[in-house]
Structure 1
Amino acid sequence: MGNTRNIAFWVILFVMILMLFNLFSGSNTAQPSSARSYSEFVQAVQDGAVQEATIDGENVRFVGSDNKVYATVKPEDAAVTDLLIENNVPLTAKPQQTSGFQSFLLSLLPFLLLIGVWIYFMNRMQGGGKGGAMGFGKSKAKMLTEKSGRVTFDDVAGIDEAKEELEEIVEFLRNPQKFSRLGGKIPKGALLVGPPGTGKTLLARAIAGEAGVPFFTISGSDFVEMFVGVGASRVRDMFDQAKKNAPCIVFIDEIDAVGRHRGAGYGGGNDEREQTLNQLLVEMDGFEANEGVIILAATNRKDVLDPALLRPGRFDRNVTVPNPDIKGREKILGVHARKSPLGPDVDLRIIARGTPGFSGADLANLVNEAALMAARVGRRFVAMADFEQAKDKIMMGAERRSMVMTPAQKEMTAYHEAGHAIVGMTLPKCDPVYKATIIPRGQALGMVMSLPEMDQLNYFKDELTQKIAMTMAGKAAEIIKYGEDAVSNGPSGDIMQASALARAMVMRWGMSDKVGNIDYQEAAEAFRGGGGAGGFSISAHTKELIEEEVKRIIDQGYEDAHKIIMDNKAGWESLAEGLLEYETLTGAEIERVMRGEPPHKGDDEEDEPTDKGSVTAIPKTKPRAKAKPKASDGDMEPEPTA
């Protein structure tokens, strides 16, 4: 409406100016006239070539001897009347064509323009737009309309438990008597908590598509403003709009931008953000009841939210939206692959097994990358090979084949990655080796990628020590091949990953008998941050003990890796030579190369069973933090999580 009023105002103003211009510039000449200079007019009068003349203000029109009408403009001091009378030219004089009403409009026009401009700016500042100079206290919440691209619960997959809890809210809005007859009340708020990309905002859009009630959406950062009181004003305005449209749903995305714990800033943190939070708390559950307004909020930082915001009565439900498991990933892939024609060899379950730890956004990106790769080569459908290439690109980075590497650098990378692979395939608790490559990807010169067999929820001590051994195998391989003095900085990333794992084992997970079952990690972080556990400091003796244990675990892993490579030196050499020749090998191809066979088997050949029984070309699943590739320079190594 505001834009319509503005356009109408400017159209009317333009029409008025155009009418006035036409009014004052209109010509009273009955017939067209040709312009002549004043000197030509005087000469014509003196020569007797003027039959008659008419004076209209400063304009002079005259009829020449050829019966044509001419016009000229007389100078201010010219005695045109005397000239015409002296030469016996019939003369007609007309008064200036300006009426009293026209004069009034002419004098009023500047004032009309000023009043119009003033009305326009006042309309912009107060009623015409929320972004105006006087409109910064208005809520920026937008009512979501699903005229196109409507999302429903059918478009949400892989998070069934979270979907069920929110479906109940939609059912309550549709049929409140079903719950109220038993004394049940509609939840006032639901907080969606989960890692980035798991589908929190998609769930909110699905609720908007299913509920059939007004749905307002706003970001937490939209409340924050440099002016004092603006955030609180926007909260009040948002709830006023919601009450007028009740029953309705208000969705606040990234609520941690405004809902952080109070008193955590400098000087007690009594700032504009906290005043905004106070107003939000009062509006959600204060002295006045807020009937029919349901608050949905999303965040991936629940730990920083104020406790008063999380209590029942404000957010009655905390809905966890986790990363999907293998079944969820398969369903999500099915949803995103609806618009893509899939080839007959595509098996979404196999793709789901090979993408452990992927969120819904990651899987959507995977399908899109696969479709782009198929289009790039001119296919009419998306094949399984496109999904494999897209997965490698997402998990390991894009290939950098244009990067120039000397033969010595390629050879060192091949032996480094072969060391990772041989140790990973030998130790039973290491994840199956999925692929080894010496083609630079991302910032890594080469990498060995291992993927787990199943979704893993716990970490075990023997498994972690074997992973550290596999991580240190790159450095052990370089020392065995080139000697202590020729080792490169390639293992720097491996050392960082091994150190992080070992410190987590000692300081967080209680996997060291000498250090004991104490969480020193939290104490160290609290001391660095000046808060938490009262600034608890770790003693010098304990620090020394921790570093000794971390060094012992890493050294033991290095010794185990060194021994395994020496015991399997022939296979390690063969694998390194195979990588130099073929550049990229899958798990099954690695085994064939180590046996001295060509990596690609014939059509009538089958892979022999392995002792470990887990090295396959198609890996299974595990959380993503444990499934990222082991890179020689460590740029893509994961940080351990509890």
Structure 2
Amino acid sequence: MAKNLVLWLVIAAVLFTVFQNFNEAAPQDEMTYSEFMLEVQDERVREVTIGDQRIRGLRLDNTQFMVVMPEVLDLKLMDTLLDHRVQVKGVLPEKPSLWEQLLVASFPILLFIAVFVFFMRQMQGGSGGRGGPMSFAKSKARLLGEDQVKTTFADVAGVDEAKEDVQELVEFLKDPSRFQRLGGRIPRGVLMAGPPGTGKTLLAKAIAGEAKVPFFSISGSDFVEMFVGVGASRVRDMFDQAKKQAPCIIFIDEIDAVGRHCGGGHGGGHDEREQTLNQLLVEMDGFEGNEGVIVIAATNRPDVLDRALLRPGRFDRQVFVGLPDIRGREQILKVHMRKVPMDDQMKASIIARGTPGFSGADLANLVNEAALFAARANKRVVSMEEFEKARDKILMGAERKSMVMSEKEKENTAFHEAGHAIVGRLVPEHDPVHKVSIIPRGRALGVTQFLPEEDKHSLSKRAIESQLCSLFGGRIAEEMTLGFDGVTTGASNDIERATDLARNMVTKWGLSEKLGPLHYGDDEGAYPGTGTPQYSGATSKVIDEEVRSIIDICYTRATKVLSENKDILQAMKDALMEYETIDSDQVDDLMARRKVRPPRDWHDHDVSGGSSGLGGEEEKKSADDSPVGGPANQH
């Protein structure tokens, strides 16, 4: 309304200016007062009109003229005009036209209305959704029109099963009568669960883009604030808006922020979050229907959601969006590689084989980092060399080449990383060694990277024990070369990870023969200091003994492996001191006690196959869904 008022004021000003131009008389000859008096005395003037400090006249030859009267009062002017037989006329003061009177009278009123409307809109949050003193109870959901959502199923790859599950939502939104004829009812809500970065939000946008319906987007944390009752009010307002736009989609991201099970908070039954959840339950399936409104929610923690939220009639369908397999990763890479100029030899299948465990967001970041590396090198296309650097940066962190290390520290780091690599190479069911480096990356002085040969979804007891052995390989190598007094603190993270791994074997995975296949919960209850142990003190002592036993056995095995290969340990240390980074081909030479070949030249390397490179059979990223606990096995 305020914009319309301003527009009308501008139009009025333009019209006023045009009318004024029309009312102006034709241009006239302008002369000085002295010239005018001379013409009067020469009797060349027929008539004059005096008014408004101007004299307009007509000569005997019918030509017009105009004179501006001086500020000095001429008392003899009238006598002179009458003496020379000049006809004198006078004019009344000009009155403003009706249009001018209306404009002047209405301007203050229009201005007051515009200011009032402006402040009211600001107090109510404005058109842009920004909050104000009176807008805290309004929904913060952002509405995207059917023409604004450009994402389609063609932009979503690697989650074919999830796409099939939601495909019928699109068909229902396009043609509801097709399902209603047979008495079918479309699901009221769809809950998308899965690890971060797998494309849950992207899939929801694609549903709206395919169905060409309005799309409301909001986060779970946007409902609850410090004011009591605000969350429930916002839920009501959001569904009221959605019903006006039906059929439409409401997408609630991170719904676990508001949908956790009731009674879990400290606020009791009147907790603000629980009021918001109860209102959400009523809106999704209460006395008042919300036909045509489909709620899609995303969460990384479906296990903490309230059971009433997951019952049929509310979120009656759950879609798991998991990490993509090798075929899914290839499809995702093809989507992201469309906008990047790639080398002719590059294939998405090669990169997909070398990136198990990567989510869709990880793969997008990989392509972006590779493009940035190519841009820094002023290359016109992205090659395998940039993808290798990008993957190393993502998994191990950026190189800290400016960090100054003494020769003794570098040598100790080389022994440490060589110990990890040798033990990991020789123990059974361990991931192959991909790269060993003593270049500081992130918070580590050196990195040993193991990559699995294929996607892994579970680990055997033998594989876990082999990982324990390789974790202790670095510390044992330091102890063998520097003595117990020379052992450094560099193995602190290895010890922490090994202890957690051994304790999980005993308490969670049932891999202890003495304690058997039982789950031993945490020592503390729901809140620190308030709970009671879930098992006796005697059982706790047995658990500690079993953990210590597993650690001792693996430590002894790793010590035996390194003792039998001291020459390889020394040779690998020398290679690391010379090259700083060695790859799997060079590790093969060292393990075979051959002369180490020089580092790989990417320009001469064939990326289409072979046992090395990003797509090789022995150099792939480990999955994060195993009980190991990291995006890659790095030591």
TM-score tier after normalising by the smaller chain length: 0.7 to 0.9
Residue in 1 aligned with 2:362? 362
Q: Which moved more, 1:478-487 or 1:244-253?
A: 244-253
Task: Kindly indicate whether the alpha-carbon contact (under 8 Å) linking 1:214 and 1:248 is maintained by their aligned counterparts in 2.
Answer: yes
Question: Amino acid of the residue matched to residue 519 of structure 2?
Answer: D
1:8 aligns with 2:30: no
Residue in 2 aligned with 1:49? none
1:602 shift after superposition: 10
Task: Kindly indicate whether the alpha-carbon contact (under 8 Å) linking 2:5 and 2:110 is maintained by their aligned counterparts in 1.
Answer: no
Q: Which moved more, 1:337-346 or 1:434-443?
A: 337-346
Residue in 1 aligned with 2:559? 562
For 1:395 and 1:266, locate their aligned partners in 2 and report how far apart those are by CA, in whole Å.
Answer: 40
1:344-363 mapped onto 2 (5 Å cutoff): 344-363=344-363
Task: Kindly indicate whether the alpha-carbon contact (under 8 Å) linking 2:139 and 2:237 is maintained by their aligned counterparts in 1.
Answer: yes
Task: Kindly indicate whether the alpha-carbon contact (under 8 Å) linking 2:54 and 2:67 is maintained by their aligned counterparts in 1.
Answer: no
In structure 2, the residue corresponding to 1:509 is in which secondary structure? Answer: coil
1:126 shift after superposition: 5.4
1:382 shift after superposition: 1.9
Question: Amino acid of the residue matched to residue 370 of structure 1?
Answer: A
In structure 2, the residue corresponding to 1:444 is in which secondary structure? Answer: coil
Question: Amino acid of the residue matched to residue 115 of structure 2?
Answer: V
Q: Which moved more, 1:266-275 or 1:489-498?
A: 266-275
With the length of structure 2 as denominator, give the TM-score of the two structures.
0.81
Residue in 1 aligned with 2:477? 477
Residue in 2 aligned with 1:228? 228
1:416 shift after superposition: 0.4
Question: Amino acid of the residue matched to residue 122 of structure 1?
Answer: M
In structure 1, the residue corresponding to 2:490 is in which secondary structure? Answer: coil
1:70 shift after superposition: 8.6
Q: Which moved more, 1:252-261 or 1:320-329?
A: 252-261
In structure 2, the residue corresponding to 1:491 is in which secondary structure? Answer: helix
Residue in 2 aligned with 1:119? 117
Provide, for residues 132-158 of structure 1, a one-character-per-residue CA deviation record: whole Å limited to 9, x for no partner.
743443333333246477222222222
1:428 shift after superposition: 1.5
Question: Amino acid of the residue matched to residue 2 of structure 2?
Answer: N
Residue in 2 aligned with 1:139? 139
Residue in 2 aligned with 1:45? none
Label 1:583 to 1:455 Cα distance change in 2 as closer, same or farther (>3 A). Answer: same
Provide, for residues 146-173 of structure 1, a one-character-per-residue CA deviation record: whole Å limited to 9, x for no partner.
6477222222222121111101222233
Label 1:426 to 1:230 Cα distance change in 2 as closer, same or farther (>3 A). Answer: same
Residue in 2 aligned with 1:586? 583
1:244 shift after superposition: 2.6
Q: Which runs of 5+ in 1 are unaligned?
A: 34-54, 62-67, 75-79, 607-614, 633-642
Task: Kindly indicate whether the alpha-carbon contact (under 8 Å) linking 1:450 and 1:628 is maintained by their aligned counterparts in 2.
Answer: no
1:427 shift after superposition: 0.5
For 1:124 and 1:433, locate their aligned partners in 2 and report how far apart those are by CA, in whole Å.
Answer: 62
Q: Which moved more, 1:159-168 or 1:344-353?
A: 344-353
Task: Kindly indicate whether the alpha-carbon contact (under 8 Å) linking 2:146 and 2:212 is maintained by their aligned counterparts in 1.
Answer: no
With the length of structure 1 as denominator, give the TM-score of the two structures.
0.80
For 1:230 and 1:71, locate their aligned partners in 2 and report how far apart those are by CA, in whole Å.
Answer: 74
For 1:240 and 1:32, locate their aligned partners in 2 and report how far apart those are by CA, in whole Å.
Answer: 72
1:33-432 mapped onto 2 (5 Å cutoff): 110=108, 112-125=110-123, 129=127, 131=129, 133=132, 134-145=134-145, 147=147, 150-268=150-268, 270-432=270-432
For 1:503 and 1:525, locate their aligned partners in 2 and report how far apart those are by CA, in whole Å.
Answer: 18
Name the Cα RMSD after superposition: 4.1
Label 1:616 to 1:567 Cα distance change in 2 as closer, same or farther (>3 A). Answer: farther
Label 1:355 to 1:276 Cα distance change in 2 as closer, same or farther (>3 A). Answer: same
For 1:445 and 1:502, locate their aligned partners in 2 and report how far apart those are by CA, in whole Å.
Answer: 25
1:372 shift after superposition: 1.9
Question: Amino acid of the residue matched to residue 5 of structure 2?
Answer: F
Label 1:381 to 1:112 Cα distance change in 2 as closer, same or farther (>3 A). Answer: closer
Residue in 1 aligned with 2:63? none
Residue in 2 aligned with 1:40? none
Provide, for residues 567-613 of structure 1, a one-character-per-residue CA deviation record: whole Å limited to 9, x for no partner.
0000111011001101111122112134231224999999xxxxxxx
Question: Amino acid of the residue matched to residue 570 of structure 1?
Answer: D
Label 1:117 to 1:154 Cα distance change in 2 as closer, same or farther (>3 A). Answer: closer
Task: Kindly indicate whether the alpha-carbon contact (under 8 Å) linking 1:506 and 1:546 is maintained by their aligned counterparts in 2.
Answer: yes
Residue in 1 aligned with 2:86? none
For 2:150 and 2:128, locate their aligned partners in 1 and report how far apart those are by CA, in whole Å.
Answer: 27
Could you tell me which of 552, 569, 573 is aligned with 2:570? Answer: 573
Task: Kindly indicate whether the alpha-carbon contact (under 8 Å) linking 2:450 and 2:634 is maintained by their aligned counterparts in 1.
Answer: no
Residue in 1 aligned with 2:597? 599
For 1:519 and 1:161, locate their aligned partners in 2 and report how far apart those are by CA, in whole Å.
Answer: 33
In structure 2, the residue corresponding to 1:388 is in which secondary structure? Answer: helix
Question: Amino acid of the residue matched to residue 459 of structure 1?
Answer: L
Label 1:409 to 1:602 Cα distance change in 2 as closer, same or farther (>3 A). Answer: closer
Question: Amino acid of the residue matched to residue 216 of structure 1?
Answer: F
For 2:69 and 2:493, locate their aligned partners in 1 and report how far apart those are by CA, in whole Å.
Answer: 93
Task: Kindly indicate whether the alpha-carbon contact (under 8 Å) linking 2:190 and 2:296 is maintained by their aligned counterparts in 1.
Answer: yes
In structure 2, the residue corresponding to 1:296 is in which secondary structure? Answer: strand
1:527 shift after superposition: 6.3
1:104 shift after superposition: 9.3
Residue in 2 aligned with 1:528? 528
Residue in 1 aligned with 2:84? none
Q: Which moved more, 1:360-369 or 1:205-214?
A: 205-214
Question: Amino acid of the residue matched to residue 463 of structure 2?
Answer: E
Question: Amino acid of the residue matched to residue 8 of structure 1?
Answer: N
Residue in 2 aligned with 1:77? none
Label 1:529 to 1:375 Cα distance change in 2 as closer, same or farther (>3 A). Answer: farther
Provide, for residues 47-91 of structure 1, a one-character-per-residue CA deviation record: whole Å limited to 9, x for no partner.
xxxxxxxx999x999xxxxxx98999x9xxxxx98x989xx999x
Number of equivalenced pairs: 595
Question: Amino acid of the residue matched to residue 367 of structure 1?
Answer: V
Task: Kindly indicate whether the alpha-carbon contact (under 8 Å) linking 1:416 and 1:474 is maintained by their aligned counterparts in 2.
Answer: yes
1:553 shift after superposition: 1.8
Question: Amino acid of the residue matched to residue 383 of structure 2?
Answer: A
1:421 shift after superposition: 0.5
1:336 shift after superposition: 1.6
Task: Kindly indicate whether the alpha-carbon contact (under 8 Å) linking 2:522 and 2:533 is maintained by their aligned counterparts in 1.
Answer: no
Task: Kindly indicate whether the alpha-carbon contact (under 8 Å) linking 1:129 and 1:135 is maintained by their aligned counterparts in 2.
Answer: no
Could you tell me which of 540, 543, 547 is aligned with 2:544? Answer: 547
Label 1:529 to 1:297 Cα distance change in 2 as closer, same or farther (>3 A). Answer: farther
Q: Which moved more, 1:337-346 or 1:499-508?
A: 337-346
In structure 1, the residue corresponding to 2:476 is in which secondary structure? Answer: helix
Task: Kindly indicate whether the alpha-carbon contact (under 8 Å) linking 2:522 and 2:534 is maintained by their aligned counterparts in 1.
Answer: no
Label 1:177 to 1:56 Cα distance change in 2 as closer, same or farther (>3 A). Answer: closer
For 1:145 and 1:131, locate their aligned partners in 2 and report how far apart those are by CA, in whole Å.
Answer: 16
Question: Amino acid of the residue matched to residue 121 of structure 1?
Answer: F
Task: Kindly indicate whether the alpha-carbon contact (under 8 Å) linking 1:574 and 1:596 is maintained by their aligned counterparts in 2.
Answer: no
Task: Kindly indicate whether the alpha-carbon contact (under 8 Å) linking 1:527 and 1:537 is maintained by their aligned counterparts in 2.
Answer: no
Label 1:605 to 1:166 Cα distance change in 2 as closer, same or farther (>3 A). Answer: closer
Provide, for residues 261-312 of structure 1, a one-character-per-residue CA deviation record: whole Å limited to 9, x for no partner.
2222223152333222222111110012222221111111212222111111
For 1:442 and 1:601, locate their aligned partners in 2 and report how far apart those are by CA, in whole Å.
Answer: 23
For 1:145 and 1:293, locate their aligned partners in 2 and report how far apart those are by CA, in whole Å.
Answer: 15
Residue in 1 aligned with 2:612? none
For 2:18 and 2:116, locate their aligned partners in 1 and report how far apart those are by CA, in whole Å.
Answer: 25
